[in-house]
């Protein structure tokens, strides 16, 4: 790569060799007349790497042009484009919100917000996911790395980067640097029948119904909050297309699999809306300000009742554990839970 100065304007250009005999060079302005600033911009845009890739025949002339143009797109702008594409990917609002949070944390930790994705290095990723923070566990770091990998893959697919510096062959969480507490996943304990009865006896309305439905059917909090009248149109069954990956779950309403669920559903007053719980469905749609409050409120209920080490998700663990003890096979439990793999289901079965 060679930097040249336009004699008329004084602007500095980068001249890249493409390896294409019919068009051996491509020039681009660096937007400055200052030599030091030009070198800095060329380095930030990783132009030498682009030139090397082009000369090796790994990039077409069109790809070189796209990457060269991409030097004007910052990581912040690329992240915004990625989030905007979430609708086309049919991504859940919760996933998008989590991805946005990880990107914000990464950009707060590393000086990447205003540089082009091309200038992001392995060090930018490694310093973040392997940072010295005892409060961040192994599983959280893996999730953060996964988000960054998907973002950089999006950048590669849209011609903003070459390859993926966070790819599995180049990057991973350094587990040897983490403590035992960080490596150990948090244990979820299922509710006992007595604890569920205690909650039912001391709550009313939404929280009473939500507790009973989740304990009987193993549904996640979001699936209960967004339960539709259409889910109850098949006689003797409840059908839910879960908010997580849209998995279809069909559960018979009987005392063996879903004890007490029919009676609870009859208690819920009918509404004219799409949802059994329209207010809660609307609140759950607000992933930033509304959804987090559910866990906070339920935590307060459990604290008031003296039930420790549990969360609403413990009801799902309790349901799947109950199915296992009732003699349902692991495959059946996975089907009723909406799990794609029995390996996941095993984690919900407690002795």
Give me 220's structure tokens: 């996640």
Q: State how far the Cα of 22 lies from the Cα of 25, in Å rounded to an integer.
A: 9
Quick one: pLDDT band at residue 93, thresholds 50, 70, 90?
confident
**CATH topology classification for 75-183:** DNA polymerase; domain 1 (1.10.150)
Give the mean pLDDT of 311-337.
96
Q: State how far the Cα of 328 lies from the Cα of 301, in Å rounded to an integer.
A: 32
Q: Is the dihedral of CA 71, 72, 75, 80 positive or negative?
A: negative
The pLDDT score that the predictor gives to residue 61 is: 53
Q: State how far the Cα of 16 lies from the Cα of 226, in Å rounded to an integer.
A: 55
Contact assessment for residue 16 and residue 50, using Cβ atoms and an 8 Å cutoff: yes
**150-206 pLDDT per residue, tens:** 999 988 887 777 668 888 888 899 989 999 888 887 788 999 999 999 999 999 999
Interacting residues of 128 by C-beta distance below 8 A, sequence separation 6+: 105, 106, 109, 110, 144, 148
Measured at the CA of 281, the angle between CA 217 and CA 139, to 5 degrees, comes to 65
The pLDDT score that the predictor gives to residue 15 is: 82
Contact assessment for residue 131 and residue 85, using Cβ atoms and an 8 Å cutoff: no
- Residue among 257, 201, 249 at smallest CA distance from 223: 249
- Residue among 199, 205, 154 at smallest CA distance from 298: 199
pLDDT cut 90: percent of the chain above it: 60
Higher pLDDT, 268 or 286: 268
**109-131 pLDDT per residue, tens:** 999 999 888 778 899 999 999 99
Higher pLDDT, 311 or 93: 311
Count of CB atoms situated within 10 Å of the CB of 172: 15
The pLDDT score that the predictor gives to residue 101 is: 92
Is the pLDDT reported for residue 321 higher than 60? Answer: yes
Counting other chains too, the contacts that 338-347 makes at CB distance below 8 Å and 24 or more residues apart are 338/240, 338/242, 338/244, 338/247, 338/248, 338/249, 340/245, 340/247, 345/320
Give the mean pLDDT of 204-220.
97
Domain segments of the chain: what residues? 2-72, 75-183, 193-346
Is the pLDDT reported for residue 105 higher than 60? Answer: yes
What is the average pLDDT value for the chain, to the nearest integer? Answer: 88
Residue showing tokens 């090397």: 52
Q: Is the pTM of this model over 0.75?
A: no
**246-270 pLDDT per residue, tens:** 889 999 999 999 999 999 999 999 9
**CATH topology classification for 193-346:** hpI Integrase; Chain A (1.10.443)
Contact assessment for residue 166 and residue 125, using Cβ atoms and an 8 Å cutoff: yes
Contact assessment for residue 228 and residue 215, using Cβ atoms and an 8 Å cutoff: no
**36-73 pLDDT per residue, tens:** 988 887 776 677 877 777 776 655 555 555 555 555 78
Q: State how far the Cα of 213 lies from the Cα of 312, in Å rounded to an integer.
A: 11
Q: State how far the Cα of 275 lies from the Cα of 286, in Å rounded to an integer.
A: 16
Round the CA-based radius of gyration of the chain to a whole number and report it: 27
């Amino acid at each position: 790569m060679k930097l040249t100065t336009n004699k008329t304007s004084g602007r500095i250009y980068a001249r890249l060799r493409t390896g294409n005999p019919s068009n051996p060079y491509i020039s681009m302005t660096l937007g400055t007349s200052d030599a030091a600033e030009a070198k800095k911009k060329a380095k930030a845009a990783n132009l030498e790497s682009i030139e090397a890739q082009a000369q090796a025949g790994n990039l077409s002339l069109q790809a070189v042009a796209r990457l060269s143009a991409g030097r004007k797109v910052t990581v912040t702008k690329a992240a915004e484009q990625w989030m905007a594409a979430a609708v086309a990917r049919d991504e859940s609002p919760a996933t998008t919100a989590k991805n946005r949070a990880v990107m914000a944390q990464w950009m707060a930790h590393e000086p990447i917000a205003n540089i082009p994705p091309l200038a992001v290095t392995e060090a930018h990723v490694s310093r973040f996911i392997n940072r010295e923070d005892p409060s961040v566990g192994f599983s959280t770091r893996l999730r953060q790395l996964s988000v960054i990998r998907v973002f950089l893959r999006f950048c590669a697919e849209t011609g903003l980067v070459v390859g993926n510096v966070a790819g599995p062959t180049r990057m991973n969480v350094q587990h040897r640097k983490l403590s035992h507490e960080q490596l150990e996943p948090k244990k979820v304990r299922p509710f006992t029948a007595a604890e569920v009865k205690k909650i039912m006896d001391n709550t009313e309305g939404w929280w009473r119904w939500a507790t009973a439905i989740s304990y009987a059917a193993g549904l996640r909090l979001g699936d209960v909050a967004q339960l539709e009248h259409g889910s109850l149109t098949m006689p003797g069954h409840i059908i839910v297309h879960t908010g997580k990956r849209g998995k279809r779950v069909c559960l018979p309403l009987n005392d063996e699999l879903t004890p007490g669920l029919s009676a609870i559903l009859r208690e819920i007053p009918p509404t004219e809306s799409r949802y059994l719980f329209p207010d809660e469905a609307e609140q759950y749609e607000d992933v930033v300000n509304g959804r987090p409050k559910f866990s906070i409120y339920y935590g307060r209920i459990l604290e008031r009742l003296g039930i420790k080490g549990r969360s609403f998700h413990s009801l799902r663990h309790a349901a799947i554990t109950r199915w296992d003890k009732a003699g349902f096979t692991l495959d059946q439990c996975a089907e009723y839970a909406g799990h794609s793999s029995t390996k996941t289901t095993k984690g919900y079965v407690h002795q």
